[in-house]
Amino acid sequence: MAEAETRPWRFHVEIRERPYDLLVCILLALVLVLLVLITPGNLLRQILGLVFVLFLPGYAATAALFPENEQIDGIERVALSFGLSIAIVPLIGLALNFTPWGIRLDPILASVSAFIVASSLVAWYRRMRLPADERFAIVVDVKVDFRGMPLVDKLLTIGIVIMLVASVIVLAWAVATPRVG
């Protein structure tokens, strides 16, 4: 029993062979389109809407621009995804302003979805042309080892994890129940 308690906990996942991240981008965009058409408003639609506007267009564009693993690191990729999304979506809205459809929910939803799907397909094509060891890979490697860690550090680590989970719950609640006025 003491042997099992002293081993570090490790979680390692590497996705490199197929670009499942791009498939998830396309699926999330299509799911949001279906949710907008079917349900007038719910928590899932609001959360997906935030991801749809603030992250997915930039992520798909970043994946198309940088298909190789060594071009930019993960933090730069996430930051660039947010930044490009904040730049791309208003430009799509500006272009829609000069069309007969104007700036309404349906044309924006269709245009941003089309951009996400097109960018994801370009990224998929560019990534699959590379050798497998050069492709961008999503690597999740979490290693938790409490051996030799002082009690205060253990408690702080557990507290940070609890606060992160609580923050996500509070954010979901704030999005789901907006204040009137």
Reply yes or no on whether the pLDDT at 112 is more than 60. yes
Reply yes or no on whether the pLDDT at 69 is more than 50. yes
Which tokens hold the place of 78?
Answer: 């996430």
3-class secondary-structure state, position 5? helix
- For 136-173, the pLDDT digits (tens) are 877 777 777 777 788 888 888 889 889 988 888 887 77
* Nearest alpha-carbon partner for 138 in 83, 48, 80, 69: 69
Secondary structure E strands in the chain: 9-15, 138-144
- For 41-60, the pLDDT digits (tens) are 777 788 888 888 889 999 99
The mean of the pLDDT values for the chain is 84
Burial class (CB in 10 A: 0-12, 13-18, 19+), 179: exposed
pLDDT (0 to 100) of residue 14: 66
Q: Give dist(CA 31, CA 35) in Å, integer.
A: 6
- Look at the pTM and tell me if it is higher than 0.95: no
